[in-house]
Amino acid sequence: MKIIICGAGQVGGQIARHLAREDAANSITVVDSNPALIQRLTEAYDVNGMTGFASHPDVLDRAGARDADMVIAATQSDEVNMVVCQIAHSVFSVPRKIARLRARSYLDAIYSDLYRREHLPIDVVISPEYAVAEAVMQRIAAPAAFDIESFQGGKSQLIGLALDGACAVLNTPLRQLSELFSTLRVVVVGVRRGERLFVPEPTDQLYGEDQIYLFAATEDVPRVMEVFGKTDMKVEHALIIGAGNIGLHVAKSLEAEGRRVRLKIIERDRVRAESAADELKRTVVLNGDGLDIELLEEANVRRMDAVLALTDDDKTNILACVRAKTEGAKLVVALVNDPSLISLIAPMGIDAYVNPRAVTVSSILRYVRHGRIRAVYSVGDAEAEAIEAQVLGTSLIAGQTVREAELPEGSLIGLIQKGEKIIVPKGDTRIEEGDVLTIFAMRDDVADVERLFQVGLDFF
């Protein structure tokens, strides 16, 4: 595919980095007005770079818009992103346009009848703030998991768990899991041991301090948690640090839920704190520094079931979580943009994190994939992907058993959906047309997994 990415900042740069790493068939051109950002990307990855204003038609023309398959507008400006999509459509007839939009006013209008495709031709709207807020809500729904994402229409979930001595299946070969828990629909698909993430073999064992990724049927998640030594916890008292777009959206979501969560927010900026207090109905808003121990005590942090550090500063979020945990908070979740800091999360006692870059990349990747790829979730620092794909009659994998399917070595089938049923695949399970598979694949093997489901030039 020929893809033009407008914007070489955090979001655009991460998308370019991810696509350039995994598939040589992708031709990536990045456009940005900052030559330093372009130079950094072109020197580090196999991408083309162009300095200029992405909304200018002549710049898009020189970037190859006349024969581009997709334009991803991910600059810092909503207005520039919308203009880019309009020009890509009206002047260059680019088939697929994706725009990153942040302002709630634009999002509300685009999702209403005010904008129609013929007036504002954006095929896909990506809102990192809203997507990240939803990811935070998922962390709260499963407090024992450090990572979680839904697949197969909500019938299955990818769950990341940090193991400890309470896990009942330590030092047990993974192939025995199905024997010990024959009715449990769960497959361990990834293991992080130290700094290394890998797809396990059936003979591999799990050890304390491993971090694992597993696919589980949603109905079986409570029992899966028990097997892996995780106790259920209800969030009744929560504290949010940071009342920006993400923090405010999470607060509104918690207020809208059926369960009544007693919620407090700490916001450093007085104007923003006052605005949040006006918009929220049942939330107590405190103006001050989320690292201030006296303010945390005033917020009664030791009674909190969950503390969510959602400011735009990674270090503040990490330190706030460490301080809240030290003071007695049960669950702490940090928003972390810099992937190099993620390795510090577990050693510092932080229960879970949300990486906005990974969430945004996951939102976009499904529209870049070939074949019948229905969902993609980026794992870790873009080290692997969890993929949901539908089998067509012409797919290479159709009609084969799991044992016969030539999956790359660094990939593993999780769960298979046959009709309305979710099953754990066995060696003799036949993969049939219409089946929906979840697959965990290391970054270098994603393109080969994708080809198993590819149908000619059906990109979308």
pLDDT digits (tens, 9 = 90+) for 395-444: 889 999 999 988 999 999 999 999 999 999 999 999 999 999 999 999 88
Residues 382 and 349 in one domain: no
Q: Give the closest residue to 129 by CA, choosing from 253, 39, 42.
A: 253
Answer yes or no: do 78 and 19 share one domain.
yes
Asked whether the predicted pLDDT for residue 42 surpasses 60, the reply is: yes
Same domain, 355 and 418: no
Q: Of 103, 126, 149, which residue sits at a domain end?
A: 126
Domain shared by 81 and 115, yes or no: yes
The mean pLDDT of the chain is: 88
Which CATH number covers residue 443?
3.30.70.1450
The pLDDT assigned to 22 comes to 62
Q: Give the pLDDT mean for 27-56.
A: 94
Do 315 and 278 belong together in one domain? yes
Indicate whether 455 pLDDT > 60. Answer: no
Give me the pLDDT at residue 438, please: 97
Residues 291 and 349 in one domain: yes
pLDDT at 239: 97
Q: What is the pLDDT of residue 267?
A: 96
For the record, the structure tokens of 76 come out as 């810092």
Check if the beta carbon of residue 42 is closer than 8 Å to that of residue 49. Answer: yes
Residue 297 CB neighbour total at 10 angstroms: 11
Instruction: For residue 65, tell me if it sits in a domain.
Output: yes
Q: 396 in a domain, yes or no?
A: yes
- In a domain, residue 196? The reply is no
Query: Is the model's pLDDT at 367 over the cut of 80?
Result: no
- CA of residue 165 relative to chain centroid, distance: 28
In three state form, how does the secondary structure of the chain look?
Answer: CEEEEECCCHHHHHHHHHHHHHCCCCEEEEEECCHHHHHHHHHHCCCEEEECCCCCHHHHHHCCHHHCCEEEECCCCHHHHHHHHHHHHHCCCCCEEEEECCCHHHHHHHCCCCCCCCCCCCCEEECHHHHHHHHHHHHHHCCCCCEEEEEHHHCEEEEEEECCCCCCCCCCEHHHHHHHCCCCCEEEEEEEECCEEECCCCCCECCCCCEEEEEEEHHHHHHHHHHCCCCCCCCCEEEEECCCHHHHHHHHHHHHCCCCCEEEEEECCHHHHHHHHHHCCCCEEEECCCCCHHHHHHCCHHHCCEEEECCCCHHHHHHHHHHHHHHCCCEEEEECCCHHHHHHCCCCCCCEEECHHHHHHHHHHCCCCCCCEEEEEEECCCCEEEEEEECCCCCCCCCCECCCCCCCCCEEEEEEEECCEEECCCCCCECCCCCEEEEEEEHHHHHHHHHHHCCCCCCC
- Report, as an integer, the average pLDDT of 261-289: 94
- The domain spanning residue 271 has which CATH number? 3.40.50.720
**Is it the case that residue 459 has pLDDT exceeding 70?**
no
Domain stop point among 327, 359, 391? 359
User: Does the residue 50 lie in any domain?
Assistant: yes
- Same-domain pairing of 12 and 114: yes
CB 95, CB 121: distance < 8 Å: no
Domain boundary among 126, 151, 185: 126
pTM: 0.75
- Mean pLDDT, residues 225-238: 87
Residues forming a β-bridge with 308: 240, 333
Q: What mean pLDDT is predicted for residues 229-252?
A: 89
Other Cβ atoms within 10 Å of 446 Cβ, number: 25
Domain presence at residue 158: no
344 & 370 share domain: no
According to the model, what pLDDT value does residue 386 have?
Answer: 94
Residue 74 has pLDDT above 70, yes or no: yes
70 and 113 share one domain:
yes
199 within some domain: no
Residue 22: inside a domain: yes
Can you tell me the distance from the alpha carbon of 64 to that of 61, in angstroms, rounded to the nearest whole number?
5
Q: How far is CA 362 from CA 199, 204, 282, 311, 388, in A?
A: 20, 29, 33, 21, 12
Tell me whether residue 441 is in a domain: yes
**Is the domain of 54 the same as that of 30?**
yes
Q: How many domains does the chain have?
A: 3
Q: Which domain holds residue 418?
A: 366-453
CA separation for the pair 32, 100 (Å, rounded): 15
Same domain, 349 and 426: no
Same domain, 246 and 312: yes
